[in-house]
């Protein structure tokens, strides 16, 4: 779930700075066009193919592992799982997903203060690979704890910085920018499609740890591809915007160690448990988001226009939280629903429930190019970002209403085609929010907080994802009408509210659409 499509009129920088950027060529922010950059990838800067590749393999490993992990946690020991209560398992998955996006704070901070986006991305990919290896070779809860922590931290570092590096390939007024983010989103979903197919097949036929091993191999392949192409990226990708003085390294290392110690104490004293983990991650994310907004908005390093744009980002942030709290139930409620309620028999063959997760990427692959072409064709006539966000959130709420005709059915009572239709609606909503949100974030970001603003968008995903895990604990197959109606209804209301305040939000966004 990362990449971007959105308004294809991103000349949102003030005219005083936009003209200079435009003269630099449309392959980077103020970078002269080299021979490498004369080559194109579907009309986009050639370097996009390198980031496209590493993100595709990272999503292969991430999506391939996540649903398998859901089943690993709540399947019985006799079935090769760990035998946790189902509600606890989906809560852990929600907390884990939220932690991935919460970790973008750390990844963004390291990029902006220590390593730069490109090197942070590279080292994060290594950490992800090590996490999948731990899941594959360490049995029981030891593998789960060490593996999920490494994958969460690594994925957080990779996600915010991959998006930021893509942004460096385009001048602020390059009209290809949003279409390029949509192609980037396509790469992500190619990986997301093949991941569950391969790991689900391995889980069913040879066992859970073989599936985790496949995720490790996928990340290794992505790392290998990126290693060959990283030198061709523009210099902006390696810039450290706000270098941390070496004299302060010790202070921050001490803060990090103290934070780890506090977490360990809370775990060993029972304050943080598997049952409340998703709520804890949600609370931490709320605090982090408020702190982040406060730091950026009170900084003397940003201009008046930049500050106004950050204020304009706040209603988009809130709507994004609502959207992701529903959308991310693809990894909590939907796997449980697919395993117990869905009729997966096709001409006498039963499809693994894991493969349901590959339906959404198929639609993304088909529709992302359509949306990219649509935004490019419409140009300045396309809907603004707040309108896209509002409509996308309303559609996401309506997708939950589509579960209602099948509420109260028994095992294997929901036709597979119905789930395909529901996930098609999920996809349409996603393409109106996720790629658009990433694109607009790179345009609203103050110059000194570029990567960290991308991390703020991912904090909205973190909060929504952890909320999805918390909400999933209330899912009850015996009372589905209330669950799907209430949650879907809240999303519809929030989407409509954003549509009603579009004009004042656009005024705050100062020319960014």
Strand partners, 44: 41
Residues 345, 200, single domain; the answer is: no
Amino acid 473: pLDDT: 82
Task: Assign 10 a pLDDT band (cuts: 50, 70, 90).
Answer: very low
What pLDDT score was predicted for residue 70? 87
DSSP state of 174: -
Could you tell me the pLDDT band of residue 511, with boundaries at 50, 70 and 90?
low
Higher pLDDT, 69 or 372: 69
Q: Is 497 exposed, middle or buried (0-12, 13-18, 19+ CB in 10 A)?
A: middle
Whether 353 maps to a domain, the answer reads yes
The verdict on residue 457 lying in a domain is: yes
Tokens of 295: 């730091």
Domain identity same for 113 and 223? yes
Mean pLDDT value across residues 331-345: 86
Residue 422 CB: number of other CB atoms within 10 A? 21
pLDDT at 4 over 70: no
Q: Looking at the domain assignment, is residue 2 inside a domain?
A: no
Which residue from 98, 96, 125, 124 is spatially nearest to 109, judged by alpha carbons?
A: 124
Q: What local confidence, expressed as pLDDT, does residue 232 receive? A: 73
pLDDT score of 476: 79
Residue 304 in domain: yes
Predicted pLDDT of residue 321: 92
Looking at the structure, do residues 309 and 186 belong to the same domain, yes or no?
no
Report pLDDT digits (tens) over 87-100.
Answer: 888 888 888 888 88
Residues 213-239 have pLDDT tens digits of 888 888 888 888 888 777 778 777 777
H or E element at residue 41:
strand 40-41
Number of domains in the chain: 2
Average pLDDT, the chain: 80
- Of 40-49, 302-311, 429-438, 495-504, the range with the lowest mean pLDDT is 40-49
pLDDT value at 17 more than 60: no
| pLDDT of res. 6 | 32
Average of per-residue pLDDT across 253-265: 80
Return left, alpha or beta for 327; rule: phi > 0 is left, psi -120 to 50 is alpha, else beta. Answer: alpha
Q: Domain check: are 234 and 334 in the same one?
A: no
pLDDT surpasses 80 at 181: no
Question: Domain boundary residue among 224, 243, 262?
Answer: 243
- Contacts of residue 6, Cβ cutoff 8 Å, sequence gap at least 6: 178, 181, 375, 385, 388, 435, 436, 437, 438, 439, 440
Task: Tell me what the mean pLDDT of segment 435-456 comes to.
Answer: 77
Neighbours of 129 (CB within 10 A): 25
**13-18, long-range: CB within 8 Å, 24+ apart, which pairs?**
13/172, 13/173, 14/305, 14/511, 17/172, 18/172, 18/173
pLDDT score recorded for residue 429? 92
- Domain assignment present for residue 4? The answer is no
Say whether pLDDT at 16 is over 80: no
Please check whether residue 24 lies inside any domain of the structure.
Answer: no
- In this prediction, residues 149-168 reach a mean pLDDT of 82
Please check the confidence at residue 32 and state whether its pLDDT lies above 50. no
Instruction: Say if residues 3 and 164 touch (Cβ distance below 8 Å).
Output: no
| C-alpha–C-alpha distance, residues 92 and 189, integer Å | 24
List the CATH number of the domain containing 67.
Answer: 1.20.1250.20
Give dist(CA 310, CA 304) in Å, integer: 10
Q: What would the mean pLDDT of 118-126 be, rounded to a whole number?
A: 89
pLDDT of residue 396: 92
**How much of the chain exceeds pLDDT 70, in percent?**
88
Residue 30 has pLDDT above 50, yes or no: no
| 233 & 296 share domain | no
How would you class 459 by CB atoms within 10 Å of its CB: exposed for 0-12, middle for 13-18, buried for 19 or more?
Answer: buried
- Residue pair 72/454 in contact by the 8 Å Cβ criterion: no
Considering only residues 164 and 314, tell me which one the structure prediction assigns the higher pLDDT: 314
Together in a domain, 374 and 449: yes
Count of CB atoms situated within 10 Å of the CB of 346: 9
42: how many CB neighbours lie within 10 A of its CB? 14
Name the nearest CA neighbour of 144 among 191, 212, 218. 212
340 shares its domain with 470: yes
Residue 187 — very low, low, confident or very high, per pLDDT cuts 50/70/90?
Answer: confident
Q: What is the pLDDT of residues 299-330, one digit of tens each?
A: 887 888 888 888 888 888 989 999 999 998 98
Do 192 and 140 belong to one domain? yes
| pLDDT score of 13 | 31
CA 273 to the chain's CA centroid: 25
How far apart, in Å, are the Cα atoms of 55 and each of 97, 225, 333, 400?
Answer: 17, 11, 26, 29
The answer to the question of residue 270 being in a domain is no
Percent of the chain with pLDDT over 90: 8
What gap in Å lies between CA 95 and CA 285, rounded to an integer?
11
pLDDT beyond 50 at 465? yes
Domain ends where: 243, 267, 291?
Answer: 243
Number of other residues whose CB lies within 10 A of the CB of residue 434:
26
Same domain membership, residue 287 and residue 202: no
User: Looking at residue 88, what is its pLDDT?
Assistant: 85
- Residue 264 resides in a domain: no
**Cα–Cα distance between 138 and 268 in angstroms, integer?**
21
Mean pLDDT of 16-25: 33
Same domain, 221 and 333: no
Beta carbons of 235 and 52 less than 8 angstroms apart = no
pLDDT at 424: 94
Whether 194 and 302 map to the same domain: the answer is no
In a shared domain, residues 219 and 280: no
Mean pLDDT score, 340-369: 85
The model carries a pTM of 0.77
Q: Which domain holds residue 340?
A: 275-512
Range 269-279 average pLDDT: 74
pLDDT confidence of residue 41 = 62
Q: Which residues contact 505 (CB under 8 A, 6 or more apart)?
A: 312, 315, 316, 386, 498
Report how far residue 201's alpha carbon sits from residue 506's, in angstroms, rounded to the nearest whole number: 47
């Amino acid at each position: 779930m990362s990449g971007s499509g959105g308004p294809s009129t991103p000349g949102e920088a003030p005219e005083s700075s936009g003209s200079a950027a435009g003269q630099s060529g449309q392959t980077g922010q103020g970078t002269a066009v080299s021979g490498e950059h004369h080559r194109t990838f579907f009309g986009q800067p050639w370097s996009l193919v390198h980031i496209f590749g590493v993100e595709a393999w990272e999503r292969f490993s991430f999506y391939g592992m996540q649903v398998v992990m859901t089943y690993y946690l709540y399947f019985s020991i006799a079935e090769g799982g760990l035998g946790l209560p189902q509600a606890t398992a989906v809560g852990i998955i929600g907390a884990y997903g939220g932690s991935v996006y919460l970790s973008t704070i750390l990844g963004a901070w390291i990029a902006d203060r220590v390593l730069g986006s490109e090197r942070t991305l590279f080292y994060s990919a290594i950490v992800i690979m090590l996490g999948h290896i731990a899941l594959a070779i360490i049995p029981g809860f030891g593998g789960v704890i060490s593996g999920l922590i490494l994958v969460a931290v690594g994925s957080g570092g990779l996600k915010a910085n991959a998006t930021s590096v893509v942004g460096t390939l385009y001048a602020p007024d390059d009209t290809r920018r949003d279409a390029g983010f949509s192609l980037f989103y396509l790469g992500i979903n190619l990986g997301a499609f093949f991941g569950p197919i391969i790991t689900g097949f391995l889980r069913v036929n040879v066992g859970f740890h073989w599936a985790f091993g496949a995720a490790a191999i996928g990340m290794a392949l992505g790392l290998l591809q990126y290693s060959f192409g990283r030198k061709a990226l523009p210099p902006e990708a390696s810039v450290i915007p706000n270098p941390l003085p070496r004299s302060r390294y010790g202070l921050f290392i001490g803060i990090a160690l103290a934070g780890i110690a506090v977490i360990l104490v809370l775990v060993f004293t029972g304050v943080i448990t598997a049952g409340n983990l998703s709520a804890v991650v949600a609370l931490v994310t709320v605090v982090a988001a408020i702190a982040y907004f406060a730091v950026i908005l009170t900084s003397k390093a940003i201009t008046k226009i930049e500050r106004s744009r950050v204020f304009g980002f706040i209603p988009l942030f809130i709507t994004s939280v609502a959207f992701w709290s529903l959308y991310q139930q693809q990894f909590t409620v939907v796997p449980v629903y697919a395993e117990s309620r869905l009729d997966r028999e096709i001409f006498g063959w039963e499809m693994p429930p894991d493969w349901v997760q590959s339906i959404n990427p198929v639609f993304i692959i088909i529709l992302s190019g359509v949306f990219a072409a649509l935004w490019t064709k419409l140009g300045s006539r396309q809907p603004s970002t707040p309108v896209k966000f509002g409509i996308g959130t309303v559609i996401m709420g309506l997708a939950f209403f589509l579960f209602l005709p099948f509420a109260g059915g028994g095992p294997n009572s929901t036709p597979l085609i119905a789930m395909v239709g529901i996930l098609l609606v999920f996809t349409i909503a996603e393409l109106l929010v996720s790629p658009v949100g990433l694109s607009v974030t790179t345009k609203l970001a103050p110059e000194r907080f570029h990567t960290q603003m991308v991390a703020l968008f991912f904090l909205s995903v973190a909060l929504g994802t952890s909320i999805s895990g918390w909400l999933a604990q209330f899912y009850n197959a015996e009372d589905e009408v209330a669950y799907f109606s209430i949650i879907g209804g809240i999303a519809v209301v929030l989407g409509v509210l954003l549509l009603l305040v579009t004009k004042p939000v656009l005024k705050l966004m100062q020319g960014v659409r």
